[in-house]
Structure 1
Amino acid sequence: MWTMPTRQGTERRTVILRAAGQLFLARGYAGVSMEDVLHAVGGSKSTLYRHFADKAELFRSAVEALLDEKSAPLRSFTPEDADVAATLVALGRHFATIVLDPSSIALHRLVTAEAERIPGIGQAFFEHGPAFGQAVLGRYLQSAADQGLIRIADARAAGAQLYQAMLGDPQMRLLTNSPSRPAPSEVEHSITTAVDVFLHGTLVR
């Protein structure tokens, strides 16, 4: 029978997830055992397994927690500028700070490596990571359209496309450890160019 989690239980779960997340990032999935996590946080094995049935569930939950923590500032995003272009660029900079951070790149690589072996981990990463950012953009675009500032048929799809256009190139270069790592000026250029093309296009009218 389901019971309401206690505050102590919720806090304990948070401690476990934070410790597990750091261990997985440092050692990889195969390099971490449930005993390693227990050693890091202390407590009893029964408590650990009461929260997480196995290592795969712990990994999935730790990935979700890491992504939710990174995206927390965007959950209360409020446009500070009435200018659509300025707001989209500001959002792009927020996304870049999160997505291009070394720990985010490491997490992306880790999940990609384990996606075929751990059911649901790829979907969890996508929903709590890229899809969240795309949804933030989509909601803003829909709001701008409702105010008559832009004309758009599918805000959700447009948000996904703009998100990738902003960060796809610098993120891929980091994920593949390319020698041509993106400089801050290149990331800024990628964001501003994507916004400009998105809003104004390239067709001569």
Structure 2
Amino acid sequence: MQTVPTTRFGMARSQATSLNFMQTTKSGQKVSKREQLLNAAMELLVDQGNMAFSMNALARHAGASKETLYRHFGNKQGLFEAIVTENADQAGLTADYFSAHPNNPAGFLTAFGEALLTFLMSPQSIVINRIVIAEAASNPELALILDKHGRQRVAQSVGAQFSRYLEQGLVSSEATQSLNYFLGLLLQDSQIKVLDGSIPPLTKPDISARAEHAAALYLKLFAC
């Protein structure tokens, strides 16, 4: 029986190249050099993990000079920050949900919930979170980067937008201050179970149903 080669994180090596989160720009043009480097970095992180990862290794893998890497990212920490930030942006987690749902907080929460769950179930997010967990003891800085440039950044964007419904009188002040409750209703323990491999990632229909249900429950608690 033929053995399928896997990466350090139990993923088939053939899947590693599918993790590139920036293949083309919105206009259909080829990605920039910076984006190519981020894609190469993701492949290398999947294959080797962060401890074995180095700027020298990335330079060899990407066919780029170290000077080019340092010009774009500064150092290894700056590179990881860029990966986290780009992932969140590409997933639409900092999009303008209010403009799409100007008088509809339920639509806002459902749309954001779907985007967040879709992202957290994606191979990119799973790999990044598994790296952070696996190397928490040896490199706790990774968790701080993920929190600052991922979770906090998204929370600030969404919180600022959602507060506009308070100005419209559509939600209570508690609703704008308690969005973590919405995240609890949305995520439950699914992300943890996906990360530890006990369940597969949620399907698109499951994600849509979960987001709609969480939004309805949350607004039942906190709507005016």
Query: Normalising TM by the smaller chain, what interval?
Result: 0.7 to 0.9
Query: Out of 169, 182, 185, which is 2:202 matched to?
Result: 182
The amino acid of 2:150's aligned partner reads: G
The TM-score with structure 2 as length reference comes to: 0.69
1:29 alignment partner, SS class: helix
Structure 1 residue 97 displacement after superposition? 1.9
Change (3 A) 1:192 1:44: closer
Percent identity between the two aligned chains: 24
The amino acid of 2:217's aligned partner reads: V
Q: Which runs of 5+ in 2 are unaligned?
A: 1-31
Q: CA RMSD in A?
A: 3.0
Q: Determine if the alignment matches structure 1 residue 91 to structure 2 residue 80.
A: no
Structure 1 residue 175 displacement after superposition? 1.2
Q: Which runs of 5+ in 1 are unaligned?
A: 1-10
Output one character per residue of 1:185-205: Cα deviation in whole Å (capped at 9) or x when no partner.
Answer: 433332222212211139xxx
Output one character per residue of 1:135-185: Cα deviation in whole Å (capped at 9) or x when no partner.
Answer: 333223211011111112362x42232123212332222112114653444
In the alignment, which residue of structure 2 is the partner of 1:70?
Answer: 90
Structure 1 residue 96 displacement after superposition? 1.7
Q: Report matched runs for 1:67-146 at 5 Å.
A: 67-72=87-92, 74-77=94-97, 78-80=99-101, 82-146=103-167
2:108 alignment partner, SS class: helix
Moved more, 101-110 or 157-166: 157-166
The amino acid of 1:17's aligned partner reads: L
Moved more, 45-54 or 59-68: 45-54
In the alignment, which residue of structure 2 is the partner of 1:5?
Answer: none
Structure 1 residue 27 displacement after superposition? 2.6
The TM-score with structure 1 as length reference comes to: 0.74
The amino acid of 1:188's aligned partner reads: S
In the alignment, which residue of structure 2 is the partner of 1:191?
Answer: 211
2:201 and 2:91 map into 1 onto residues whose CA distance is: 24
In the alignment, which residue of structure 2 is the partner of 1:161?
Answer: 181
Determine if contact 2:103/2:165 at 8 Å carries over to the other structure.
no
2:103 alignment partner, SS class: coil
Determine if contact 2:45/2:53 at 8 Å carries over to the other structure.
yes
Change (3 A) 1:199 1:174: same
Query: Out of 42, 66, 75, which is 1:45 matched to?
Result: 66
Q: Determine if the alignment matches structure 1 residue 200 to structure 2 residue 220.
A: yes
In the alignment, which residue of structure 2 is the partner of 1:147?
Answer: 168
Moved more, 35-44 or 102-111: 35-44
Structure 1 residue 19 displacement after superposition? 1.9
Q: Determine if the alignment matches structure 1 residue 22 to structure 2 residue 48.
A: no
2:129 alignment partner, SS class: helix
The number of aligned residues is: 190
